[in-house]
């Protein structure tokens, strides 16, 4: 067949498909993604590819430092849900475009309970199987098993033909035995997952085992559990409520960090501070480029990949009026001399714990009088919030302390349309026009950690040693805001630090990064002169 004949044949196939006919030899739609690969398919090639590979050397792996901490977390979850099967998926790959995926990151609850960070392990599922109390995982009432797809041997086609899982494409991955040794967990091939999840499932009143699932993490696991429930006449609405309680409990479990988690927060904060140093170093170059914010973003990202796993969240590199957009992540604007740069960024460590720090920097290294005036007001609010942090106060008290100071400054500047006390009343809140966000949020595996926790344990919760959160007041005066004087417009300032509650107060984990206007100016000039 000539080349032109081939093209004609493909046209016929396409035309036939268009009118509802599919020739017997037409390629399946899902297989067409492999057309680009042009892999050999001869038996000679397959036989040769399966031969002459060095055998894997058996290695005895030491227990990961996190293993005992993760086991304690699993025991805490086990105690909350006795005699119930708990299913915690890591989640699958997420498609970025067509046949390319984002770098994999497991769901935070899975990472917390398994101890796995970095890019392990797409499609994995952690199953808590109820057993007699005291006989399970580390003396708990559940036997926890990690189910995942082990890497195929080098004598299989998957080794070289599977771009998502094959070692030839993505490199080696830990196997069942390695993870078992490192994590102190039972491990099983993912092929056994369906039976493990669905066996004896059904209404408790009829002798079945109730399943609780961390939903909307892996749709295939959702479907497996839902089908099991339908087949065993379990009420789906009630089951959804049970699943919600599990998600809530797993989120609340992270409100107080253990010693290992706090050590990881320190690692992340230290790398983030280095990233801020890198940004200051490139500011002169950023000021000369039409998309200077991208230069800022790129400098910080390089540090995140150098010292950590990735960014903890999309960097906010906002210059000038962009700094008044709370979640400005387009980062395509200019960085102009005389403006301020609001940099809100965090490095995610290999353990997946992230920092979240903001500094507002003068592009030239020196604040103007108006910029300093507003900056000092925000710093005073941050200091007031720090001053109240200690065990026993309510989380919401931090916000109250910060915004009162901001309101007092706005009142002194004549910006409030009512008296200070009227503005501070729940029926007022006029000052919030210029800071509509909260002052603090919990921080850890997620930048907004513990988000499914009950209100009474989060916003109305009482501070305990080991809690980690941000303090981040700000003032944002938009260019188009006619309620402020012209000299304030286009200025957005936020100062954000990461705070650890201690036995008798608080520790600013990010204290090594300059905070006052004077310190920032000296720090920036020192970087440029070195």
This model's pTM is above 0.85: yes
Is residue 8's pLDDT more than 90?
no
- What is the pLDDT averaged over residues 310-332? 98
| Lowest mean pLDDT, pick from 198-212, 301-315, 460-474 | 198-212
Is 263 in the same domain as 248?
Answer: no
CA angle 108/71/121 to nearest 5° reads 40
Domain assignment present for 57: no
443 DSSP assignment: -
| Cβ-contact 434, 410 below 8 angstroms | yes
Laid out side by side, the sheet with 186-189 consists of 186-189, 142-148, 125-130, 85-89, 211-213
Residues sharing a CB contact under 8 Å with residue 159, sequence separation 6 or more, in sequence order: 49, 152, 153, 166, 167, 168
Query: Domain boundary at 222, 252, 282, which?
Result: 252
Name the 3-class secondary structure at 111.
helix
Tokens 């305990």 — which residue? 464
CA distance between the termini of the chain: 70
User: pLDDT by residue (tens digit) across 445-483?
Assistant: 999 999 999 999 999 999 999 999 999 999 999 999 999
* Residues 319-332, mean pLDDT to the nearest whole number: 98
Query: What span, in angstroms and rounded, lies between the C-alpha atoms of 50 and 53?
Result: 8
Kindly state whether residues 222 and 293 are assigned to the same domain: no
The two most distant CA atoms of the chain are separated, in Å, by: 88
The CATH number covering residue 445 comes to: 3.90.230.10
Residue ranges in 142-235 assigned as alpha helix (H): 158-161, 167-170, 176-183, 193-198, 219-231
Domain membership flag for residue 6: no
Residue 49 has pLDDT above 70, yes or no: yes
**pLDDT score of 1:** 42
Residue 331 shares a structural domain with residue 455: yes
Spatial CA neighbour of 391 closest among 452, 462, 322? 462
Whether residues 357 and 477 share a domain: the answer is: yes
Domain-located, residue 13: no
Final residue before a domain boundary, out of 231, 252, 273 = 252
Does residue 107 share a domain with residue 248?
yes
Q: Is the pLDDT of residue 104 over 90?
A: yes
Beta strands in 142-260 (DSSP E): 142-148, 186-189, 211-213
- Is pLDDT of 184 > 80? yes
Average pLDDT over residues 89-99: 92
- Alpha carbons 374 and 323: distance in angstroms, whole number: 13
Q: How many domains, the chain?
A: 2
Whether 246 and 272 share a structural domain:
no
pLDDT confidence bin for 27, thresholds 50/70/90: confident
Pairing of strands 468-471, 125-130: unpaired
Burial of 46 (0-12, 13-18, 19+ CB in 10 A): middle
Helix 395-412 × helix 369-388 angle, to 10°: 150
The 10s digit of each residue's pLDDT in 386-441 is 999 999 999 999 999 999 999 999 999 999 999 999 999 999 999 999 999 999 99
Rounded mean pLDDT of 184-189?
96
Burial of 382 (0-12, 13-18, 19+ CB in 10 A): buried
Examine the domain organization and report whether 341 and 294 are in the same domain. Answer: yes
> What digits encode the pLDDT tens for the residues 326-341?
999 999 999 999 999 9
Rounded CA-CA distance 134/382 in Å is: 47
The pLDDT, as a whole number, for residue 466 is 98
Residue 223 and residue 277 in one domain: no
In a domain, 22, yes or no: no
Q: Residue 454, Cβ neighbours under 10 Å: how many? A: 13
Cβ atoms 193, 147 nearer than 8 A: yes
Q: Which residue has the higher pLDDT, 402 or 59?
A: 402
The answer to the question of residue 51 being in a domain is no
Residues 245 and 279 in one domain: no
**Tens-place pLDDT, residues 341-375:** 999 999 999 999 999 999 999 999 999 999 999 99
pLDDT tens digits, 105-159 = 999 999 999 999 887 789 999 999 999 999 999 999 999 999 999 988 888 999 9
Q: Are residues 381 and 303 in the same domain?
A: yes
pLDDT at 23: 58
pLDDT at 249: 98
Asked if the structure places residue 17 within a domain, the reply is: no
Mean pLDDT for the chain overall: 93
Query: Which of 219, 252, 285 is the last residue before a domain boundary?
Result: 252
Identify the pLDDT of residue 152: 87
Omega within 30 of 0 (cis) for the link into 147: no
Hey, what are 90's tokens? 């890591």
Q: How confident is the model at residue 99 (pLDDT cuts 50, 70, 90)?
A: confident
Same domain? For 428 and 300 the reply is yes
Q: Is residue 394 part of a domain?
A: yes
Q: Which domain holds residue 182?
A: 67-252
- What's the CA gap between 108 and 396, in Å, rounded? 25
Q: Residue 25's pLDDT is what?
A: 62
In a domain, 153, yes or no: yes
Which CATH number does the domain housing residue 197 bear?
3.40.350.10
Residues 375 and 494 in one domain: yes
DSSP 153: P
CA gap 449, 490 in Å, rounded: 31
The predicted-structure confidence for 247-264, as pLDDT tens digits, reads as follows 999 999 999 999 999 999
């Amino acid at each position: 067949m000539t080349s032109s004949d081939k093209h004609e044949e493909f046209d016929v196939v396409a035309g036939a498909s268009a009118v509802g006919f599919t020739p017997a030899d037409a390629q399946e739609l899902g297989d067409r993604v492999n057309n680009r690969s042009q892999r050999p398919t001869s038996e000679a090639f397959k036989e040769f590819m399966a031969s002459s590979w060095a055998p894997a050397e058996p290695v005895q792996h030491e227990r990961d430092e996190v293993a005992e901490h993760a086991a304690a977390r699993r025991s805490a979850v086990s105690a909350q849900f006795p005699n119930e099967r708990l299913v915690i998926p890591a989640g699958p790959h997420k498609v970025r475009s067509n046949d390319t995926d984002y770098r994999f990151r497991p769901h935070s609850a899975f990472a917390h309970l398994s101890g796995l960070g970095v890019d392990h392990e797409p499609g994995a599922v952690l199953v808590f199987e109820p057993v007699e109390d005291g006989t399970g995982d580390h003396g708990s009432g559940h036997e926890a098993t990690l189910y995942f797809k082990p890497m195929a041997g080098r004598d299989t086609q998957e080794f070289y033909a599977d771009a998502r899982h094959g070692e030839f494409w993505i490199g080696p991955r830990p196997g069942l035995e390695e993870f078992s040794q490192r994590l102190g967990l039972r491990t099983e091939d993912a092929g056994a997952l369906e039976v493990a999840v669905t066996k004896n499932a059904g209404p408790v009143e009829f002798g079945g085992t109730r399943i609780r699932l961390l939903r909307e993490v892996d749709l295939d696991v959702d479907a497996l559990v839902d089908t099991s429930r339908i087949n065993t006449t379990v009420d789906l609405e009630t089951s959804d409520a049970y699943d919600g309680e599990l998600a809530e409990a797993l989120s609340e479990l992270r409100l107080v960090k253990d010693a290992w988690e706090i050590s990881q927060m320190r690692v992340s904060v230290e790398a983030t501070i280095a990233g801020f140093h890198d940004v200051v170093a490139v500011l002169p170059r950023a000021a000369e480029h039409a998309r200077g914010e991208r230069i800022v973003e790129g400098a910080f990202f390089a540090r995140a990949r150098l010292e950590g796993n990735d960014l903890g969240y999309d960097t906010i590199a906002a210059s000038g009026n962009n700094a008044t957009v709370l979640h400005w992540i387009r980062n395509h604007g200019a960085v102009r001399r005389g403006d301020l740069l609001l940099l809100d960024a965090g490095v995610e460590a290999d353990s997946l714990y992230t920092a979240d720090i903001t500094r507002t920097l003068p592009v030239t290294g020196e604040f103007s009088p108006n910029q300093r005036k507003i900056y000092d007001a925000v710093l005073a609010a941050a200091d007031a919030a720090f001053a109240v942090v200690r065990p026993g106060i309510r989380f919401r008290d931090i916000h109250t302390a910060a915004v009162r100071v901001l309101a007092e400054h706005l009142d002194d500047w004549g910006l409030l349309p009512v008296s200070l006390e009227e503005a501070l009343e729940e029926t007022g809140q006029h000052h919030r026009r210029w800071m509509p966000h909260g002052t603090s949020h919990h921080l850890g595996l997620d930048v907004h950690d513990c988000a499914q926790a009950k209100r009474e344990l989060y916003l109305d919760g009482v501070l305990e040693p080991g809690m980690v959160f941000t303090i981040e007041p700000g003032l944002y005066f938009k260019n188009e805001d006619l309620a402020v004087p012209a000299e304030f417009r286009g200025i957005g300032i936020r100062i954000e630090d990461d705070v650890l509650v201690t036995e008798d107060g608080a520790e600013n984990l990010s204290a090594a990064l300059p905070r006052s206007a004077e310190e920032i100016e000296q720090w920036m000039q020192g970087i440029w002169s070195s």
